[in-house]
Amino acid sequence: MANVLYDALFAGLAGSDRPLLVLQDGREITGGAFSAMVSRFAHVLTAAGVVAGDRVAVQIAKSPEALAIYAATVAVGGIFLPLNTAYTTDEVSYFLGNATPRLFLCDGVKATAMAPVAAAAGAQLMVLNGDGSGSFPDAAAGLPDVFSPVARGPEDLAAFLYTSGTTGRSKGAMLSHRNLLSNAEVLAREWRFTKHDVLLHALPIFHTHGLFVASNVALLTGGAMIFLPGYDVNEVIRLLPKATAMMGVPTFYTRLLDDGRFTRDLVTHMRLFTSGSAPLLAETHVLFEERTGHRILERYGMTETNMNTSNPYDGERRAGTVGMPLPGVELKITDPTTGVTLPQGEAGMIEVRGPNVFQGYWQMPEKTREELREDGFFITGDIGVVDADGYVAIVGRQKDLIITGGYNVYPKEVELILDEQPGVLESAVIGLPHPDFGEAVFGVLVAQKGATPDTSAIMDALAGRLAKFKQPKGLMVVADLPRNTMGKVQKNLLRDQFKGRFAKS
């Protein structure tokens, strides 16, 4: 019987003696060995009472076993729910309470703290450690190496991914077999993945980028993955010669560029570098090409939609843009208040529709109605603009829009100019409470190595380039911008840090 996602990603691995996962210590796990592990794990899930439609939540380190649990959950018809390993017990308690999984897997060091949390949510707790040990794999020992997957159709759910929730509570995005498979198929085709590829995989697998974009594409096309537990620039430099492609967040690339060992010779053989999850600075794009001769391919997506747009594989990869809508994805720019489609060239809300768009937020029908239109368009919350050639540029998140004295300021417009100023490596522009203007534009700068940006000269330079209301009312140089694991700048933390700046004394 058919199980849409399992059949496409995992069924072909049975009996294969080709390497699927190459580990840091050089160990190789063949497709056949992985498939046998998936089957044993599927038997454990079944024995634990997991049936079609049940959630299996995990907060575990990245490992071959962790990937096998994803596959096994799909095999038994369950819904895979990976959680960021940085979440605290309180945060996990919210997710388990919301998703009510049948089973929750965590690392052994957290098991005591998590036991009451799992119990309160009615979930059975089992352990999987980063080294592959624990009560879950113990229970798999000796179980059969084959498993008949439970039938699942394209509309059935395969995963819940919770949004990062920087405003309000995190929401569980329900993703169907069709959502995941259609996107993997499109990306594999557009990015020319084949069974000969070796993907350097240094992304976490609790997020759409590492789990669905990276792993699903490699699994679908029968290639191999160099499966690193995390991003370590030394390891990436050591292993790049063995890879053909790498997918990363922008910080992966800036850290490589900071390292003198990252040379053209090291990567001449590489086929593809992609970037996403956060904006790639145009400067990084240019420096990367100068250093390596490769142009990074930037794409855009999110938890709720998988990938929406991509720069072309053949054709111009345009810095500062996220490329064009992927085949099958419709994208329009609308007025954020009226929802009316705007003319080409105007900035507005990015809305997308296609087989990639999720099925709604788990048990949050009102939130779903607010963001997912009846005609299937999802209101992404990202503000973008489409140029005359169809390339989409992200201007910023709507929630980061600054309203100062009644005027709208998109931070990106100011950041792009700040980034060009002497001594400035990068910037983040935020709105801070202001007694007269409601919000004041404020710029946070990071200096280039060894430089000291002259903030008053920068203010003067901006005066010639931006309308008065867009010019920052203050600038501050900091050592680093706060970023989450996916490399996104956490503007909410900056707003908190500087919120008293313009308060009346």
Contact residue for ligand AMP among 191, 253, 300, 437 (CB under 6 A) = 300
CA distance linking residue 336 with residue 325, whole number of Å: 20
Taking a C-beta distance cutoff of 8 angstroms, is the pair 192, 215 a contact?
no
CA distance linking residue 81 with residue 64, whole number of Å: 17
Contact residue for ligand AMP among 204, 279, 348, 384 (CB under 6 A) = 279
Q: Report 317-376 residues binding ligand AMP (CB under 6 A).
A: 322
CA distance linking residue 150 with residue 152, whole number of Å: 6
Binding mask 396-415 for ligand AMP (x = CB under 6 A): -x------------------
Q: Least distance in Å: CB of 305 to ligand AMP?
A: 8
Stretch that binds ligand AMP, among 60-68, 301-309, 430-438, 443-451 (CB under 6 A): 301-309
Crossing angle between the packed helical segments 411-419 and 282-292, to the nearest 10 degrees: 40
Which CB, 21 or 302, lies closer to ligand AMP?
A: 302
* H or E stretch at 403: strand 402-404
Contact residue for ligand AMP among 276, 348, 354, 487 (CB under 6 A) = 276
**CB-neighbour burial class of residue 108 (10 A; exposed 0-12, middle 13-18, buried 19+):** middle
Which CB, 306 or 471, lies closer to ligand AMP?
A: 306
Q: Least distance in Å: CB of 500 to ligand AMP?
A: 27
Q: Report 441-480 residues binding ligand AMP (CB under 6 A).
A: none
* Binding of ligand AMP by 277 (CB under 6 A): yes
Q: Report 143-182 residues binding ligand AMP (CB under 6 A).
A: 163-164
CA distance linking residue 296 with residue 273, whole number of Å: 5
* Binding of ligand AMP by 426 (CB under 6 A): no
CA distance linking residue 465 with residue 453, whole number of Å: 18
With the CA atoms of 217, 221, 224 and 228 taken in that order, what torsion angle do they form, in degrees rounded to the nearest 10?
Answer: 10
Q: Least distance in Å: CB of 258 to ligand AMP?
A: 21
Given CA atoms 153, 193, 190, 277 in this order, what sign does their dihedral have?
positive
Which CB, 24 or 398, lies closer to ligand AMP?
A: 398
Taking a C-beta distance cutoff of 8 angstroms, is the pair 442, 432 a contact?
yes
Binding mask 375-394 for ligand AMP (x = CB under 6 A): -----x-x-----------x
Pair type for strands 378-386 and 348-353? antiparallel
Which CB, 101 or 276, lies closer to ligand AMP?
A: 276
* Binding of ligand AMP by 298 (CB under 6 A): yes
CA distance linking residue 311 with residue 324, whole number of Å: 6
Taking a C-beta distance cutoff of 8 angstroms, is the pair 320, 387 a contact?
no
Contact residue for ligand AMP among 98, 208, 251, 404 (CB under 6 A) = 208
Stretch that binds ligand AMP, among 52-60, 136-144, 271-279, 286-294 (CB under 6 A): 271-279
In the complex, the residues that contact ligand AMP under the rule CB under 6 A are: 163-164, 208, 276-279, 298, 300-303, 322, 380, 382, 394, 397, 486
